[in-house]
Structure 1
Amino acid sequence: MAAAGLFAVCLSSAYPAHAFLARPALFAAIGGATRAPTGWVQFCAENAEECRPLADQARDVVLTPELLQQLYQINKYVNDRVQWTSDPDLYGKAERWTYPLDRGDCEDIVLLKRRLLAKAGWPQGALLITTVEERGANKGRHAVLTVRSDRGEMILDNQTPEILFWYETNYRYLSRQSVTDPNIWVSFGAEQPRPDTVPAEHQFTR
């Protein structure tokens, strides 16, 4: 009963587990190779062991209610633990990617989520650091974690407790890691698939 209660709290009422898992599997169209962010290059220079492709790099994940619960728990844990703080305020420099303690910016938060999920058994190729551009008056660059599974690609974001499919966010997607090698970054295709069941205002457009 306790586990069921926790699961009910973790999942949004708009997306109960059975409905979430029943959504059509839809993957973003990926373009060609592109330059890795300078922050990733710097991070790998300092943490080479964290950037090597692993043997199970591209293993597919079959999303279950238990794994979905784990995503919500880790996403919430990191969002609650780390207070967003800019790199200039924290490190005195424009850009630095590192694992945060209690403060960090969006890239740091993504790195911690990626690390915790990997330690929980998720393959590295399912945990893709992704750069996006926010829309509207506060337009700016941002980083989120794309989590790939057989049910499609989900976005873990420090700006919301919700876990959304990639096409349900209001971001313009710029680049992300390749599923085969975390040091290879790829762009997003100019044309993206659109699910029939999602209203147009919630679909990703470039």
Structure 2
Amino acid sequence: MTHAVVQDVAETALALSAPRWRAVAGRLGRACSFGLVGTILMLGGASTQAGTKPALPEDGLVVESGGEVRPVAAWTAMCARMPDECAVDTREPAVIPLNTALWRTLTSVNRRVNARIKPITDQAHWGVVDRWEYPDDGFGDCEDYQLLKRRMLVERGLPRRALRMTVVIDEIGEGHAVLMVRTDRGDFILDNKTNAVLSWRRTGYAYIKREGQDSERWVSLNGGASPTVTANR
């Protein structure tokens, strides 16, 4: 997430009128954070050893969405290059049932992409301040990790409509992009900063906006309010 996207996030947060966002927005200024958190965590403390059936999370809460907001400028540019990436098929389910097989798929894809892609800023990679792109050359920043994860999940049969690119303020007050998976047990987050697939409430992030599910427009999240639960890192 480059400075241009951070500025866009700050403007959106201010437009949502929560006074504390004015202080948060002032701290935004660098590219999204990289690096993986050490061990692979599973919700509820479930084991990831081969042959052990993972316990499914019991969160059940979804991120509250609001009105339409301006999408990230680099996302709009990506849509011009790759319109299929941004298209919304309303015949697909917007929420998917979470079962053991799906949970294994989510955690596997999250780990594989995090291990495969090497972090690099868009300025160093493309010579521009912000570009959303598949990291097919093995390098990318936060949104590129999540785009690849979505492509892999769609290839495994998941509906794109339930997999939404999402903009947040991370735990150190910086702009960041994650992939939100919308399930009947709540909204879960795939993130390049951790191998754990976490409930949105456990990430410690403030949720600003995400792709809509009924059109190519984006929607605001949580009215700009910060989550109250901090993830274990």
TM-superposition CA deviations, 1:111-134 (whole Å, max 9, x none): 111111111111112100000112
Q: Are residues 13 and 170 of structure 1, via their aligned partners in 2, closer, same or farther at CA, if it must alter by over 3 Å?
A: closer
Q: Tell me which of 97, 104, 120 is aligned to 1:85.
A: 120
TM-score (structure 2 length as normaliser): 0.73
Cα RMSD between the aligned structures?
2.4
Q: Tell me which of 33, 48, 69 is aligned to 2:104.
A: 69
Q: Are residues 40 and 164 of structure 1, via their aligned partners in 2, closer, same or farther at CA, if it must alter by over 3 Å?
A: same
- Cα deviation, residue 20, structure 1: 2.9
Q: What is aligned with 2:155?
A: 119
Where does structure 1 lack aligned partners over 5 or more consecutive residues? 1-8, 195-199
1:43 aligns with 2:43: no
- Cα deviation, residue 190, structure 1: 2.9
Structure 1 residue identity aligned to 2:113: V
Q: Are residues 167 and 177 of structure 1, via their aligned partners in 2, closer, same or farther at CA, if it must alter by over 3 Å?
A: same
Contact 2:92 2:161 in 1 (8 A): yes
Q: Tell me which of 37, 45, 57 is aligned to 1:15.
A: 45
Where does structure 2 lack aligned partners over 5 or more consecutive residues? 1-38, 47-52
Structure 2 residue identity aligned to 1:155: I
Structure 2 residue identity aligned to 1:176: R
Contact 2:171 2:204 in 1 (8 A): yes
Contact 1:118 1:124 in 2 (8 A): yes
Q: What is aligned with 2:183?
A: 149
TM-superposition CA deviations, 1:2-37 (whole Å, max 9, x none): xxxxxxx9763843266434x141111111100010
| SS of match in other structure, 2:128 | coil
Bigger mean CA deviation after superposition, 120-129 or 49-58? 49-58
Contact 2:43 2:197 in 1 (8 A): no
- Cα deviation, residue 61, structure 1: 1.0
Q: Distance in 2 between matches of 1:189 and 1:120?
A: 30
| SS of match in other structure, 1:131 | strand
Q: Are residues 18 and 82 of structure 1, via their aligned partners in 2, closer, same or farther at CA, if it must alter by over 3 Å?
A: closer
Q: Distance in 1 between matches of 2:59 and 2:198?
A: 13
- Cα deviation, residue 73, structure 1: 0.7
Q: Distance in 2 between matches of 1:45 and 1:81?
A: 27
Contact 2:90 2:214 in 1 (8 A): no
| SS of match in other structure, 1:187 | strand
Q: Distance in 2 between matches of 1:11 and 1:80?
A: 15
Identical pairs, percent: 35
Q: Distance in 2 between matches of 1:110 and 1:83?
A: 13
TM-superposition CA deviations, 1:125-177 (whole Å, max 9, x none): 210000011233xx311000000111100010000001110001111111101
